[in-house]
Each structure stands twice: as C-alpha cells, then as structure tokens.
Amino acid sequence: MAGIYIHVPFCYSRCSYCDFYKSTSFDLKKNYIDALCQEIERSAFFNQFSKIDTLYFGGGTPSVLSVSDFERILAALTQKMNLSSLQEFTMEMNPDDIRADYVDALMSHGVNRVSMGIQSFEDKHLRLMNRRHSASQAIQAIEILKQAGLQNVSADLIYGLPFMTFNEWQSNVEQMLRLDLQHISAYHLTIEKNTAFYDYLKKGKIQEINEDESVKQFRFLQETLTQHGFVDYEISNFAKPGFYSQHNSSYWKGLPYLGLGPSAHSFYNDCRFWNVADLSKYIHGVTHDEVYQEKEVLSSIDRYNEIIMVGLRTKVGFLLSDLEKYFDGALLEYFHQVVHKQIKKKHLLFEDGRYFIPDDKRFITDGIIAELFYVED
Ligand code: SF4
C-alpha cells in the first residue's frame, strides 16, 4: 500500500493561525503546474510502488486549481499509474470555492472524498481567523457536496481559540453533527511563529486559553462525537465506522508515501525526503535538474520515537512486536523502563500485544509521548 500527496501552495489570503507553506500570489501558478508534472514524470517512486491506493491534494488551497489545471496534473499521474485502482482520492477544499459544476467535474475524475476547512460556525471566529467564508457559506457548501452525491465528506474545526467560550464550542460541535458528515477533524489551536496570531499574542491583543478550558473543550468533543457514533481513531480525527481517512492512516502506520510539490514530504526505504518550501526555488530546481530536495536516513532512535509518537496518537496504539522487530538492546531496555512508570500511573494500557492510551487520558497524549521519547544527550 502506498499513497501520494500533492501540495498546492496557493491561497487567496492568509489565515491568522496558519504556518503551512503557501503563496498568496498566483503569478507562478502555471510554472508550478509545469514543474509538478515534471516532478511526477521523473519520480523513481513509481518504479517501486506501481500500485497506489490513496491520492491526496492538500495545501495551501487545492480548490484554487481550475478543472483544466487539475486535468493536467491527473494526466501526468496517469502516465505513471492506473488511477482506477485508487481506493481513496481526497481533495481539500475551501467552502467559498465549492460550486456544483466544479464538484461534478472533480468527481468525474475520481475524487471520492472532500476535506473542507470550516473551522467554526461563528462568523466572529471566522473573521478573527481571517477565513474568507461565512458560517452560512460553509453550510451551503456541504449541501452542494451532498447534492452532488459525494458520500465521504470530512470537515475541520478549531478549538481552543482566543475568546471562544465553552458554549460557542459546544454549539460548533452540535452544528457539525447536524451536517451529518462521515468524518470530522478537530485541532486545538497552536500559535506558531510567522503567523498573525503570533503577532497578536506578542502585542497582547489575544491570550492563549487556559489549560482547564482546553481540556473541557476536548472532553466535550470526544464524548459528544463518540456518543453520536464517531470513532476517535486518532487524537484529532473522528470517523463513522468505515470512513477512517485511509491516506492519513497510512502515515500513522508507517507506510510509504510520495509527496510532490514545494514543501511536500515523502517517506520510503527508511528515508524521509522533503522538497524545498519555496515556490521559486522548487520550480527552478525541478526545471533545471538541480537539487530541490533534502533527504534524511532515519536512525533507530528516530524510528523508535516515531513509532511511539504516531502510534500513541491513534486509538489502537502500537504493537510491542513492531518495536521488537526494529530494535533490540539498549533502546528496548530503555522502553521497558519508561513504559512501566506510565502503566503504573494508568496512563497506558497493554492488551493483546498493544500499548495504547485509555480514553480518559487521551487529553494528555502529548505529555505521555514525551515521557516515552528517547532523547540523545
Ligand atoms: S489554513 Fe488553509 S486556506 Fe488558510 S492560509 Fe492556511 S493553507 Fe491557506
């Protein structure tokens, strides 16, 4: 099983919380598509993994692509693989880009899942986040997707926002449930450097919410969605049975994937690769056959930390046999020492050969992971 991620690095505006790589100028859009098609054409990944199960267009804002842009990229991909064997083909879309004719065209080319950034159903939150759409536009956009016959729709929400009251969060979750979607991703706000929120924070215009409120919002989310038939299969991801994101699940299972486009990451043959996070340098590198990618061969410690971090963010955790398969000696000895303390505190459970975090401790997932990490002196 292998997946492909395509990074579309364009947005009409910058959301206040976002540090993903993107450009708000579209001057290089055509050059980007030319370079992307060349990168696809040349990639050695396809020689090794001819069967691709998942394809994911993320960004940035993939829904800025016109149908003809999209067709050019798909034509380059179909030269390399048979798209009809795909199990899941996801496109991230913003609510204000959703039109019935556009959705029909994407679906006719095989898109069978849409992930939509809604973030909040309160217009004042949307303005604070500098989102381009209103709450009612988001609700209408979901309606258009349903009328088009799309049966696998995911939407994102953000919690832990400055000024967000518990009641507002409650009504966001309840509104999301009324939309009757198959998948919901909910992320706690993290204020990253190089974002408008970071500036607001430095200038004292906003404050981070306190930990008790964060925990209360997470617990409400977890309890409400699970009561309504969603499985909290990953710390930020909730799905109706049968609708787990296959593409993202393959990242969490350590399966190979290829990332294409500026700033995209890949993982295969025990190596991580990442493309330069600069559109001009990416285009120049690809079109002039110069280096635009860095590579890191994962050490045993990197792999150990990755199994712990990625595994424990999922409901099913990780298999002890996976650690034993890859590691012996000092690393395993270290693991058994640190894991024992977490089991004693009931922060971790061990059943059927798997370590996992019990549901009532999932709000401290990051702390538990940090306790198990191996940090070199
Ligand atoms: S959140 Fe999405 S739409 Fe907003 S700036 Fe980031 S990538 Fe663009």
DSSP 254: T
Q: How far apart are CA 6 and CA 61, in angstroms?
A: 11
Percent of the chain past pLDDT 70, that is, above it, reads: 100
pLDDT at residue 258 greater than cutoff 80: yes
Probe target for ligand 1 pocket from 18, 65, 97, with the most ligand atoms within 8 Å of CB: 18
Task: Report whether residue 18 contacts ligand 1, using a CB cutoff of 6 Å.
Answer: yes
Query: Pseudo-torsion of CA 366, 367, 373, 375, nearest 10°?
Result: 110
Task: Assign domain 301-372 to its CATH architecture.
Answer: Orthogonal Bundle (1.10)
Ligand 1 atom 6: the closest Cα is on which residue? Answer: 18
pLDDT at residue 50 greater than cutoff 80: no
Ligand 1 atom 7: the closest Cα is on which residue? Answer: 60
Probe target for ligand 1 pocket from 5, 26, 61, with the most ligand atoms within 8 Å of CB: 61
At residue 44, the pLDDT reads 86
Task: Report whether residue 117 contacts ligand 1, using a CB cutoff of 6 Å.
Answer: yes
At residue 228, the pLDDT reads 98
CA-angle at 106, arms to 102 and 108, nearest 5°: 115
What's the CA-to-centroid distance between 9 and ligand 1, angstroms?
A: 9
Q: Residue ranges of the domains in the chain?
A: 3-252, 301-372
Beta strand 231-234 pairing with 237-239: antiparallel
Q: How far apart are CA 265 and CA 306, in angstroms?
A: 15
Q: 302-342, pLDDT tens digit by residue?
A: 999 999 999 999 999 999 998 888 887 888 999 999 999 99
Task: Report whether residue 132 contacts ligand 1, using a CB cutoff of 6 Å.
Answer: no
pTM equals 0.95
- Hey, what CATH class is 3-252 in? alpha beta
Mean pLDDT of 57-68: 96
What's the CA-to-centroid distance between 132 and ligand 1, angstroms?
A: 10
